[in-house]
Amino acid sequence: MTKPTKLTFINGKPTLAPYDQIERKDNDRTYNQSRDVNQTKYVKFYHSTLWTHKRETIKQRDLDLCQRCGMELELVDHIVPSKDDWEDRLSDDNLQGLCNACHQLKTKREWIKHHKGANRYMTINIVCGLPGSGKSTYVYKHRTEHDLIYDYDSLMQSLTGLPSHVKNFDVHDYIVLFFEQMLRKLKSEQTFDNVWIIQTYPDERIDSLLSPYHHVNHILIDVDKQTCIDRLNNDKRLNSSLISVFNEFETKNFTNFKRVTE
């Protein structure tokens, strides 16, 4: 005959154990102790005056509105959770006002990502090349179903509504802001299968930001200058500002790049 069982808490989890087994107290004590040590840091932080003041500043900055849906702000949230990025817990860029409903949605998404993320491997591909070399074409050919594509030129175009060669410096600032937030989020997540960053020149800043966290591929679309100029001419995309881009490009170092021809 099997021994009768009882429902008890072992390591803080409800478990069925033989009715005569006595381990609950010791186990619970160890569990509670380790939980207390881990949580003290967070509890202390959320009760600190530093945080209370910061929360008020963010509420004012966000005009008491939820930054996702525009309803009344109910809490101040860490965009990258403080447990993932303790250093950034007081940085304005990492804080946003939310309503409870939006916060719950965000937390749920984060939970799914963290649990799926363990089996996921996200690759970051930095794709460089001259204007007209076919960077976007290359990316669109190689992207998969669940990718993120950052393309400066097409963002500029969709945010200004102007042809792609027209650059507006005020809009540039907004695109950079978006890019920085995007990198910040990517640092802590494995959301995508591939991330494609399309840019003309290499940018070491991105590498140093991302490389400790992710595998980064460097791809150079290796097409000679004349071919690019001919293509741009044909598409009526060649203009004087591109000449300086061509000259600047020749001074760049592409030694760690894999060269592909399109």
Residues in contact with Zn ion by CB under 5 A are: 66, 68-69, 71, 99, 102
Q: For Zn ion, give the closer residue by CB, 102 or 186.
A: 102
Distance CA 109, CA 103 (A): 10
Secondary-structure breakdown of the chain: helix, strand, coil percentages, each rounded to the nearest 5: 50, 20, 35
Q: For Zn ion, give the closer residue by CB, 69 or 166.
A: 69
Q: For Zn ion, give the closer residue by CB, 68 or 113.
A: 68
Helix (H) or strand (E) run with residue 33 in it:
helix 24-47
CA distances from 259 to 127, 196, 208, 232 (A): 10, 16, 21, 21
DSSP 154: H
Helix (H) or strand (E) run with residue 8 in it:
strand 5-10
Least distance to Zn ion, CB of residue 69, Å: 3
Cβ–Cβ contacts within 10 Å for residue 147, how many?
A: 16
Least distance to Zn ion, CB of residue 57, Å: 20
Rg (CA), the chain: 25
Q: For Zn ion, give the closer residue by CB, 99 or 223.
A: 99
Q: For Zn ion, give the closer residue by CB, 105 or 171.
A: 105
Q: For Zn ion, give the closer residue by CB, 24 or 78.
A: 78
Least distance to Zn ion, CB of residue 97, Å: 9
Would you state the structure tokens that stand for residue 169, as one six-digit string?
């410096």
Least distance to Zn ion, CB of residue 59, Å: 14
Q: For Zn ion, give the closer residue by CB, 97 or 134.
A: 97
Least distance to Zn ion, CB of residue 152, Å: 30
Least distance to Zn ion, CB of residue 73, Å: 8
Least distance to Zn ion, CB of residue 151, Å: 29
**All residues at 6 or more sequence positions from 128 whose CB lies less than 8 Å from its CB, including other chains:** 135, 199, 200, 201, 202, 218, 219, 220, 221, 254, 257
Question: Cα-flanking dihedrals φ and ψ of residue 226, to 5°?
Answer: -60, -40
